[in-house]
Amino acid sequence: MNLSQARALRTLEEEHESVRELAERLRDEDFERRATIGGGDWSAKDLLGHLTSWEEHAIGALKAWRRGEPAPIQRALRVDGLNAVNAESVAADRDRSSATVRRRFDDVHRRLVAEIRSMPDATWDAPPTIRSRRSLGHVLGGIVGGPGGPFAHGSSHLRHLRAYVESVTGPAPRGP
């Protein structure tokens, strides 16, 4: 299935907004508290850094593909494995301030969205390299995807983030 750019962008934006809204409800000390997300040792800050890293991997892939090269993340996954890649990205953000992690979460996302918006349909629909069989959109969707589908990485973490946020702040206020 070939996902349209418009659908990919809509999914990316909805996922980002859902995570951002939850994270904004946390004070910095709650945002940084370890062992609060998903039964592991991650904090909400670690989760935002993790999601940001995958969007950075997607941007890195786009740059490599423009040069006719394979995406660096594809090699890293093959050589190091998913757990090592994730651990490295979380460790990279541990010493950053909450404000920096939150800002990067939005800034990197905006860069990825801008990259996708500026892409011609022909590029989106073509394989990213001569060795690829799938379209660039399909491969990119896998990089920032998850169990919820292409471009839906955030949703795979929402349940855990929501549970933690509500344990600290209570349920989200309902609209009028």
Parse the chain into domains and list their residue ranges: 5-167
- Predicted model pTM: 0.93
Residue type, 61: A
CA distances (Å), origin 19, targets 39, 59, 81, 125, 127: 18, 20, 25, 29, 30
Q: What is the CATH number of domain 5-167?
A: 1.20.120.450
Q: What gap in Å lies between CA 63 and CA 81, rounded to an integer?
A: 22
At 14-51, the pLDDT tens digits run 999 999 999 999 999 999 999 999 778 999 999 999 99
pLDDT at 71: 95
pLDDT tier, 176 (very low <50, low <70, confident <90, very high otherwise):
low
What mean pLDDT is predicted for residues 126-134? 91
Q: What gap in Å lies between CA 13 and CA 144, rounded to an integer?
A: 12
Torsion of the alpha carbons at 90, 156, 168 and 22, rounded to the nearest 10 = 90
Cβ-based neighbour number of residue 122 at 10 Å: 8
Output b/e per residue, 139-155; b: 16+ Cβ within 10 A: bbbbbbbbeeebbbbbb
